[in-house]
Amino acid sequence: MTRFSERTLVEAKVSAAPAPASPHPSATLALTSAATAVALMTYTAPMVTLPDVAADLHTPLSAQAWLLNGTPLGLAALLLVAGSLADDYGRRRIFVAGTLALGLTTALGALTSSTWLFTLARIAQGAASAALLASSLGLIVHAFPSPRGRLHATGVWGAFVSGGIAVGPLLSGALPSWRVSYGVLGAAAVLVAALSARLLTESRAPRGGRPDLAGAVTFGLALVALVAALTLGRDGWLRAPVELLLLASVVLLAVFVAVERRARTPMIDLGLLRHRRFLASSSSGLFTGLAVIGLFSFLPALLQQTVGLSAMDTAWLFLLWSGLSFAVALQARRLAGRVPPRWQLAIGFLLHAAGVLTMLGSLDAGSWVRLLPGLVVAGIGSGLLNAALPLLAVESVPAARAAMGSGAQQTFRYIGSCAGVALTIAIATSSGSGLAHGADIAMLVSAALALVAAASVVALREH
């Protein structure tokens, strides 16, 4: 047995003792859910404004993936280290700092004048979102120590993930410009940070030692290299820069694993990778990013360019998908005790695949009405995913490492998102038969990935 596994077992025993509940559990749930919603609204804001942002910043088609991938890149790079810092140095402290930073960086994003400055602002927003998302579930676990309370709280939190996804595009489409929407979201984040500083209770599970900065740097550089390779790959996968970037990402990932094996306080306990529940949580997060977020991040822009819908019309149309996701995630807690989270994930992936397959040909036919049945089915599937993922994330690790478990699952989710967005754009824009035909191919790939995800979750059953 490795020393990481031994540490995990010790933490499990320590966390078995009932932790004192937060004196303000309702405030904790309200503020963490509100901050999560704002973070997801910021994340999804460019979905319907991508054509306007690209035109305003003079961004060529080949570089538009960066406009969408900045935030998930910052999220994926820092979620693991943010989760560890939250457990070690204070979840409330990291949460408030992350929420405040999100407000400031979002407001600064509204003032940018070039593609690269906007991308850097989006990466900074992702880094700030990583701090508040990873720490929020740790705060919830501390505030709701009982299994029943935790089930309710994670269900509400997961619903606000869907709620943020639903409202973000709608807000961006309704306001006069994308710059105004960023200013409004920045102000909302600052307000939540101020209230959190007054009302939240601090909690931590210190392990001792220093932050794993070497792990954070190598992991972040590996992700940057991977996303850059996927973005440049649309112009040719066999070109030397693409191959060198892919090689660099593999080498840096190997260095990251070596660093984590030797670190006293690693970002992630690699011994957890032998636990089927943790693998199910991580792989489900990865495939959610690849199959679901990757497709639905670029599909609104494809609709505007092929069917001719306005940004506001697209936002209302996708509210059917994201709104159903919110409603289903909010009610999915009623399935507890009858349908395990692993089976909820499998059903969610299957529904996503079924919904996407029914949308084939709709863009080529120029009919947004043909999208409606697929958006309904895929929205229900997305709601099941958003409800089950946070619960499985905190159940797959000892309670003392709740923020790390949340950070790990969400890291894989946004790694998948980075790769999924770049892959969707590459497939949709590389077809010689036009964007509508390319969109159909991207939908087929998304459905296939969702089916693989469903099979892998079922295969990772616990002994």
Report pLDDT digits (tens) over 79-118: 777 877 887 788 899 999 999 999 999 999 999 989 999 9
User: Strands, DSSP E only, in 297-429?
Assistant: none
| pLDDT value for 97 | 95
| pLDDT value for 1 | 40
Residues 159 and 387 sit within 8 Å (Cβ to Cβ):
yes
Report pLDDT digits (tens) over 155-166: 788 788 878 888
* Of the listed ranges 68-77, 258-267, 403-412, the one predicted with least confidence: 403-412
Report pLDDT digits (tens) over 203-250: 877 666 666 778 878 887 887 788 778 767 766 777 888 889 999 999
CB atoms within 10 A of CB 12: 14
Dihedral sign for Cα 171, 177, 182, 183, please: negative
Residue 203 makes CB contacts below 8 A (sequence gap 6+) with 22, 90, 91, 92, 138, 139, 142
What is the pTM (predicted TM-score) of this model?
0.74
Section 176-189 average pLDDT:
92
* Of the listed ranges 174-183, 207-216, 251-260, the one predicted with least confidence: 207-216
Residue 343 makes CB contacts below 8 A (sequence gap 6+) with 458
Cα separation, 322 vs 339, in Å, equals 23
Section 40-55 average pLDDT:
86
| pLDDT value for 133 | 87
Query: Higher-confidence residue: 236 or 440?
Result: 440
Section 428-439 average pLDDT:
81
Residues 396 and 457 sit within 8 Å (Cβ to Cβ):
no
